[in-house]
């Protein structure tokens, strides 16, 4: 059977805990990164072609050249299996661009799986995870999905047991934030405050809340070391987070390197009320409810 097109759906992520350790010799930071996949999805379709190309449907700002992470994923996979990266990739985006929800990494993970199926490579999951880690720290989690602790740069993953599902509302900001710029600002703020970087560890309170499905306990345990840096670069995020607090969110934080803000609701009904209040606040370009955890890359 000749496969003519392959479409893969891939979720966004929110970081329930992002603890940033000292800068390593390779320039990266050691992290404790508790990833949580949520029901905001991109779709990537791979079709046979005479050369590599990328088209994007959705918000502006996504590169379509060889620097696109999905294109790099196709090229890396082609090199691994010994063929040319001749594929047309079409990305339908719903994950915010440069929003701290790993949209580019998600697209790379989707392209890996889509091209693997299109080209009949049938690589095992461990090989795909290894290739994903070469593309970026968040790519392996997009392949895995669910909820997981990521160590190192975030690529060494251990799945986490979660009871039930959690209800979220995400507030999208106008414009994005550069992840390297946010990390650099984090380092600058720490140096300016003569604050030592400590080796991060997984939060016991966070793990307990996930295991019991306790939304209020999870809300109290949410934590992001990059949030002060994101607020420094985009001060309006402070007012955005306050809007969620005032609307009754049981927990809130900047997602990853931002500027998307994540608000945890107590229930499905509460998430609808929270989304309405955030829309009325006028602080966000868009407001989207979602649930988590959800699976990683999935063939459609």
Q: Among 86, 138, 204, 214, which one carries the catalytic annotation?
A: 138
User: Would you say 27 is a known binding-site residue?
Assistant: no
User: Would you say 103 is a known binding-site residue?
Assistant: yes
User: Would you say 277 is a known binding-site residue?
Assistant: no
Q: Among 13, 93, 107, 225, which one carries the catalytic annotation?
A: 13
Parallel, antiparallel or unpaired: strands 156-159 and 147-151: antiparallel
Q: Are 7 and 43 a contacting pair, CB within 8 Å?
A: yes
Q: Is the peptide bond before 24 cis (omega within 30 degrees of 0)?
A: no
Q: Are 291 and 38 a contacting pair, CB within 8 Å?
A: yes
Q: Is 138 a catalytic residue?
A: yes
Cα distance between the two ends of the chain: 17
Under 8 Å CB-to-CB from 127, ≥6 apart: which residues?
A: 80
User: Would you say 49 is a known binding-site residue?
Assistant: no
Per the structure block, which two tokens stand in for 170? 């995400």
User: Would you say 105 is a known binding-site residue?
Assistant: yes
Burial 209-239 (b: 16+ CB within 10 A, else e): bbeeebbebbbebbbbbbbbbbbebbeebee
Q: Is 26 a catalytic residue?
A: no
Q: How far is CA 211 from CA 25, 138, 160, 164, 217, in A?
A: 35, 23, 8, 9, 11
Sheet with 251-254: strands ordered across: 251-254, 261-265, 166-172, 286-292
Catalytic residues: 13, 138
Which residue ranges are tagged as binding site? Answer: 96-106
Which residue ranges are tagged as binding site for ATP? Answer: 96-106
């Amino acid at each position: 059977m000749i496969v003519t097109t392959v479409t893969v759906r891939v979720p966004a992520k929110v970081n329930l805990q992002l603890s940033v350790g000292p800068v390593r010799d390779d320039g990266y930071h050691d992290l404790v990164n508790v990833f949580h996949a949520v029901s905001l999805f991109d779709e990537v379709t791979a079709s046979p072609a005479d050369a590599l190309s990328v088209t994007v449907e959705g918000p502006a700002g996504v590169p379509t050249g060889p620097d696109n992470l999905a294109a790099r994923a196709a090229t890396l996979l082609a090199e691994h299996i010994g063929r040319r990266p001749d594929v047309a990739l079409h990305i339908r985006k719903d994950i915010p661009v440069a929003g701290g929800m790993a949209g580019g990494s998600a697209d790379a993970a989707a392209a890996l799986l889509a091209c693997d199926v299109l080209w009949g490579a049938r690589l095992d999951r461990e090989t795909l995870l290894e290739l994903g880690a070469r593309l970026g720290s968040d790519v392996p989690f997009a392949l895995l999905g669910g909820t997981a602790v990521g160590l190192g740069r975030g690529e060494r993953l251990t799945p986490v047991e979660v009871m039930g599902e959690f209800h979220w509302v995400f507030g999208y900001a106008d414009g994005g934030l550069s992840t390297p710029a946010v990390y650099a600002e984090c380092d600058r703020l720490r140096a300016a405050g003569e604050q030592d970087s400590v080796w991060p560890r997984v939060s016991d309170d966070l793990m307990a809340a996930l295991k019991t499905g306790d939304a209020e306990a999870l809300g109290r345990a949410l934590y992001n070391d990059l949030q002060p840096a994101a607020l420094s670069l985009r001060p309006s995020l402070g007012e955005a987070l306050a809007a969620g607090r005032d609307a009754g969110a049981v927990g809130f934080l900047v997602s990853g390197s931002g500027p998307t803000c994540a608000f945890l609701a107590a229930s499905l009904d509460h998430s609808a009320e929270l989304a309405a209040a955030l829309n009325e606040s006028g602080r966000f370009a868009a407001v989207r409810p979602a649930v988590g955890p959800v699976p990683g890359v999935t063939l459609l």
